[in-house]
Amino acid sequence: MGTSAGNTAGGRSEANRVLIFDTTLRDGEQSPGISLNRQEKLEIAHQLSRLGVDIIEAGFPITSPGDFESVQAISREVEGPIICGLARTSAQDIEAAWTAVRDSERPRIHTFIATSDLHIEHKLQTTREDVKGQVRAAVAQARELCEDVEFSPEDGSRSDVEFMAEVVQIALDEGATTINVPDTVGYALPGEYKAMFEALYRLLPDLRNVVVSVHCHDDLGIAVANSLAGVEAGCRQVECAINGIGERAGNASLEEIAMLLHTREPSLGLWTGIETTEIARTSRLVSRLTGYQVQPNKAIVGRNAFAHEAGIHQDGVLKERTTYEIMDATTVGLNSNSLVLGKHSGRHALSEALKEMGFEIDGQALNTAFKRFKEIADRKKQVTAMDLEALVTDELRSEDIGGYTLDSFEVEASSQRPPHARVSVNLPEGGAASGSFTGDGPIDAVFQAINAATGVAAKLSEFTIGAVTEGQDALGEVSIVLEIDGSTGAGQGVSTDIIDAAARAYVRALSVAVARSRADEAVGLPTESETSTAID
């Protein structure tokens, strides 16, 4: 399993440490509507480092210049975790991945190819022998460039295990240091997935000399259960994502894996290096920057995860917390919403508060954050840590997105006539354009007026509203997904005025969708079908 049998200072066996491989920035970003810019990816990567993940899969460098640049920036700026880039078995992919991660203190190349007959015949349209040849060449090339190489037989859980063993042996012979066998389409049952790894260990004695990894999807709602089954079979790396985001129904949830192993460590004897008190904050950051809200009943980080409605439950918790709570909310960083600043706080106080929260911003970025803080502080009696998180991540969405920005808006609304909105939008090429529209409601009127101003016929796919904190003066948080000619874009806005938040979210989603639509038409970039051959 690639780990020593020695003990740590705390008495834990290194052989029982489970490495956390985070793929939020690669598989997670393949979720429909998510398009993170360079600054946003860097912010998430820095937070993942604070969280204590062992490996960050920073992206798929060959897919676009933007993804390449983001992976390269993370490799150069984020310290601590291994920084990994994904590559298909083509020489061009592997070279791009290496160039993107080579500046990291601990770089890794992750290469993959499908091994199920279904994929070989219909997707790759090739033969088993060709797959073996591609693996031999790809792993050998990657190993010449990088000491740390991961290989994955895509759709492993639906592959013929004996053929897959042949392929994995080739990867081992060429120097692969981690073998990841994914349940790509979330089809396996826990018992089947565990039996597959037990068979591979029997067929491949060399497998015990490397790290073996699981990568499970949640199509049937059992990604975490399957991941645990693989770990119980001997695997010591789990590939997962914050909030469980990812292709289709998503990946195994990092926070669920981490707290499962943390809470049941006495029974399982397994542990991770995750700093659990950073879990909630990481979840909020990813939610805000991706526009994917966390469902209220989501395990560990959902709004109701530690709430008790039934009177019997409430009575029991008041008498003894452990009657109904198997975890303490503070363990995952919840209930950390203390007052940080007031309306009279200055720029230095804001800077110091943000530093304590892990945000290192200065210059114009600090000036912009301070301006937004003052605007909010004038409307709220108290500004909490969660308010500041929301404000800073809201501003991060504005950086590097480019495209359209909201200049101003006016809305006339009453119960006597349909609401009418007028907006002014700053254009990417400079200057501003105005538009007006009478809509079904004030927010609809603003959205339609933005379409009129920009001349873009965007279609609203998703619209959600939430509150950052409690109270009538809480910050409102709006998430939007738009579609333009089949290309989607997500945007988010934060404000005490929900119409303002919605308008901000809309123009950001519009900018992302327009950029994606143009990128899809660009010559020389991989098509969506080509890039979706990643381990999903």
Q: For residue 278, how far is the Cα from the chain centroid?
A: 15
- Among the three residues 380, 398, 416, which one is the final residue of a domain in this structure? 398
CATH code for the domain in which residue 186 is found: 3.20.20.70
Mean of the per-residue pLDDT values of the chain: 87
End-to-end CA distance of the chain: 24
Q: In this predicted model, which residue has the larger pLDDT, 522 or 479?
A: 479
Whether residues 318 and 383 share a domain: the answer is: no
177 domain-assigned? yes
**126-140, 270-284, 326-340: lowest mean pLDDT where?**
326-340
As a whole number of angstroms, the distance between CA 46 and CA 44 comes to 5
- The reported pLDDT for the residue numbered 531 is 44
Whether residues 316 and 448 share a domain: the answer is: no
Whether residues 321 and 394 share a domain: the answer is: no
Assign 310 a pLDDT band (cuts: 50, 70, 90). Answer: low
Assign 532 a pLDDT band (cuts: 50, 70, 90). Answer: very low
As a whole number of angstroms, the distance between CA 106 and CA 110 comes to 13
Whether residues 364 and 512 share a domain: the answer is: no
- The reported pLDDT for the residue numbered 179 is 98
Write the CA distances from 148 to 76, 131, 142, 525, integer angstroms.
17, 22, 9, 28
Written as six digits, the tokens of 237 are: 């790396």
- The reported pLDDT for the residue numbered 370 is 83
The answer to whether the CB of 506 falls within 8 A of the CB of 479 is no
Residues 64, 506, 386, 361, CA torsion sign = positive
**206-210, 408-412, 463-467: lowest mean pLDDT where?**
463-467
393 domain-assigned? yes
- The reported pLDDT for the residue numbered 475 is 83
Residues 155, 158, 164, 168, CA torsion sign = positive
385 domain-assigned? yes
Written as six digits, the tokens of 281 are: 């904050």
The answer to whether the CB of 496 falls within 8 A of the CB of 380 is yes
Whether residues 191 and 278 share a domain: the answer is: yes
pLDDT tens-digit profile of 4-30?
A: 344 454 578 999 999 999 999 999 988
Length of the chain in terms of residues written: 536
Asked if the model's pLDDT at residue 315 lies above 80, the reply is no
- For 75-103, what is the mean pLDDT? 98
530 domain-assigned? no
HSE, side-chain direction, 13 A CA sphere, residue 193 = 30
- The reported pLDDT for the residue numbered 522 is 61
Nearest to 92 by CA among 130, 61, 131: 61
Q: For residue 214, list its beta bridge partners.
A: 181, 238
Could you give the percent of the chain with pLDDT greater than 90?
59
Whether residues 502 and 355 share a domain: the answer is: no
The answer to whether the CB of 89 falls within 8 A of the CB of 135 is yes
CATH code for the domain in which residue 485 is found: 3.30.160.270
Whether residues 154 and 247 share a domain: the answer is: yes
This prediction has a pTM of 0.82
pLDDT tens-digit profile of 497-524?
A: 999 999 999 998 998 888 878 776 663 4
1 domain-assigned? no
536 domain-assigned? no
pLDDT tens-digit profile of 145-181?
A: 999 999 999 999 999 999 999 999 999 999 999 999 9
Whether residues 70 and 192 share a domain: the answer is: yes
Domain enclosing residue 466, as ranges: 405-521
Whether residues 386 and 419 share a domain: the answer is: no
HSE, side-chain direction, 13 A CA sphere, residue 238 = 37
- The reported pLDDT for the residue numbered 389 is 74
- The reported pLDDT for the residue numbered 68 is 96
Q: For residue 212, list its beta bridge partners.
A: 179
Whether residues 145 and 169 share a domain: the answer is: yes
317 burial (CB, 10 Å; 0-12 / 13-18 / 19+) is middle
pLDDT tens-digit profile of 316-371?
A: 545 666 766 677 777 887 665 555 677 777 878 888 777 777 777 778 778 877 88
Cβ-count burial 478-508 (b if 16+ within 10 Å, e if not) = bbbbbbbeebbbbbbbbbbebbbbbbbbbbb
The structural domain count of the chain equals: 4
Asked if the model's pLDDT at residue 486 lies above 70, the reply is yes
- The reported pLDDT for the residue numbered 344 is 73
Whether residues 185 and 225 share a domain: the answer is: yes
Q: For residue 379, how far is the Cα from the chain centroid?
A: 32
CA Rg value for the chain: 24
500 domain-assigned? yes
- For 26-55, what is the mean pLDDT? 90
Q: For residue 83, list its beta bridge partners.
A: 56, 107
8 domain-assigned? no
- For 482-489, what is the mean pLDDT? 86
pLDDT tens-digit profile of 254-272?
A: 999 999 999 999 999 999 9
Whether residues 350 and 414 share a domain: the answer is: no
- The reported pLDDT for the residue numbered 6 is 45
- The reported pLDDT for the residue numbered 361 is 76
As a whole number of angstroms, the distance between CA 36 and CA 498 comes to 23
